[in-house]
Structures are given as structure tokens and as C-alpha cells.
Homo-oligomer: A and B are copies of this chain.
Amino acid sequence: MSIQTRRERERAEREKLIVTAARELAEAEGWEAVTTRRLAEAVEYSQPVLYSHFKGKDAIMRAVAVEGFADLAEDLRAARTTARDAVSALAGVGAAYAAFAERCPALYDAMFRQNVDLPFATLEVPAALRAGFDELAEAVRPHARGDDLGLLTETYWAALHGLVTLTRGGRLPREQHDRRLALLLARFTG
């Protein structure tokens, strides 16, 4: 049992190394710079090793995304629990969400912009994702009035996502970003 477990441990460590290297390279130079050759060089293995861990490049991006869900959930939780009242809680999670996207653009892309099919609707991965969504939902709850909480949270999330992605794509001028967040907040807090 010893040799086998050591091997499995080493394998897991190397997998983690790949994911971390991919994330760092993506954050430093964008996902288009994350090629299998450069990634293999970064972890000091040959390309085929990547494929013994992941089915392909998309699967690596997905693994990076899953890491990100946990980070985001943490940020949102911190923002919500330190807020004084219901309004500032919703404002806080909104600002935290936008700040996360700003701070880790490549990670955010892997999580929410990648076209590849993440198991969003399934039960497997989304533990951390679900946690993040629940944080949003708790912040939204006091302002739900009669509306369906899940749907309203999804709508608030979508609005944040839209603001974040349009701003980063150069479609919205960054200067007024905070004012747009404030407008959104006002409409959701009534």
C-alpha cells in the first residue's frame, strides 16, 4: 500500500502543479499564451504528461476554473458577513464580485466566459460554485420582496457579469464602473 499511495500522492501533486502553472501563465500573459508546449515546459515535463492527467487543454482550463470558484466564494462570503446592513451587503458582494473579476481576469474567463461545458447544472463540481451563488442569494434575499429568490439572484449575477465583461472588453468605459454598480444596486434594493 505504501508504494502505490506514494505514487498516487506524487501524481496528485503533479496535477496540482499543472493547474497552478496554467493559472499563473494565463494570469500573466492571457489564455492564448497557455499552449501545451509552454505549459509542459513550465512544469518541466513533456507534453504527453499533460494528457495523462487531463483529456485536453479545455479540461485544464476547467480545473483552473474550479479552483477559482472556491476563491470567489470566499471573497463573497467575506464581503457579505462584514456588511452592516442588508443594502451594504448587496453592495458589498457586488463590489467584491467586480473586484475579483478585475483582479483575476484570466481566472474569471475560465470560470464564466469559457465556452466549454462546465457541469453547471449537474451535482458534481459545483460545490464551491454553489457556495458562491448562495452567498449572492443571501445578500439578495432581503430585497427579494415577493420574487423568486433563485431567479432574482441569477438576474443580479447576470447583471454583474455583464458589467464586468463589457467593461473588460472595452465596450464600457472603466471610469464610470462604480457608478453603474451603484445604479444597479439602487434598482435592486428599490
Contact = CB atoms under 8 A, between A and B. Distances in A.
Report whether over half of chain A's contact residues are helix, strand or loop; otherwise say mixed.
helix
A183 interface: yes
**How many copies of this kind of chain does the complex include?**
2
Interface stretch (A47-55, A78-86, A156-164): A156-164
A155 B180 contact: yes
Interface of A: 112-115, 117-118, 120-121, 147-148, 151-152, 154-155, 157-163, 165-166, 169-173, 176, 179-180, 183-184, 186-188, 190
Given A151-B176, A151-B180, A184-B155, A165 B165 contact: yes
Contacts of A157: 162, 166
Report which residue of A171, A173, A186 has the largest number of chain B beta carbons within 10 angstroms of its beta carbon. Answer: A171
